[in-house]
Amino acid sequence: MDLIRITDVQKTYKTGTVALYDVDLTISKGEFVFIIGASGSGKSTLIKMLYREEKPDKGSIMIGGINVAKLKDRKVYILRRKLGVVFQDFKLLPRLTVYENVAFAMEVFGYDKKKIHKRVMEVLELVGLKGKVRQYPDQLSGGEQQRVVIARAIVNNPKLLICDEPTGNLDPDTSMGIMKVLDDINKMGTTIVMTTHNRDIVNTMKKRVVVLNEGKIVQDYERGKYYEVL
């Protein structure tokens, strides 16, 4: 069953740069998809459209029954509650502890304290940070910070996890650790869409690979390898 259906999407920035052109893409529930491409190929724009940070000029993006392309600013939260986002630069709140950073995502839903505590501890265990709940982000390594971000992204059981170069700032060993966590999450049924530049990760994971070049999808492999031409 399709979770994401992108049809005929086009995006041109105000500067005149064409970021995406005639993009059609369907992603099913439970898939793990890498989106790869050179810098400026449009992969960031595409992924930003999935969580409605950007709007397409043309075409439609359906995610779990919501037409993201037509979603009004003040309704964006409805979409965001259905998905989790992980960034290269973490975006953690420095003044909150690990626990608070993760709990924050549940508090906006108005859950009671007990439920929040139970679930936060659950996801922190899943990402291997149960022992660091009281620490602040700057006391953690890059890999640990990214695990906190992943915990925050999945704490509300999203159907879709969007990862924008989550290993971009991490060393190879730490990156593989993060990929292990993401793979576990995927195995639990969460659909993952991830952009990356990391050849080793793509080659090791053997997942579906969508290759973008100059705003167009040029390849779509089922169990792909990093596109050699790039």
Binding site for another protein (CB under 8 A): 51, 53, 73-74, 76-78, 80-82, 85, 91, 93, 95, 104-105, 107-110, 112, 152, 156
- Least Cβ distance, residue 226 to another protein (angstroms): 29
Q: In which residue are the tokens 């869409």 written? A: 193
Spell out a b/e string for 174-196, using b for 16 or more CB atoms within 10 Å of the CB, else e.
bbbbbbebbeebbeeebbbbbbb
Nearer to another protein, 112 or 138 (CB): 112
State the Cα–Cα distance between residues 108 and 138, nearest whole angstrom.
Answer: 24
Nearer to another protein, 86 or 170 (CB): 86
Nearer to another protein, 13 or 109 (CB): 109
- Least Cβ distance, residue 90 to another protein (angstroms): 10
HEC states along 116-145?
HHHHHHHHHHHCCCHHHCCCCHHHCCHHHH
Nearer to another protein, 32 or 51 (CB): 51
Burial class (CB in 10 A: 0-12, 13-18, 19+), 6: buried
- Least Cβ distance, residue 125 to another protein (angstroms): 20
- Least Cβ distance, residue 75 to another protein (angstroms): 9
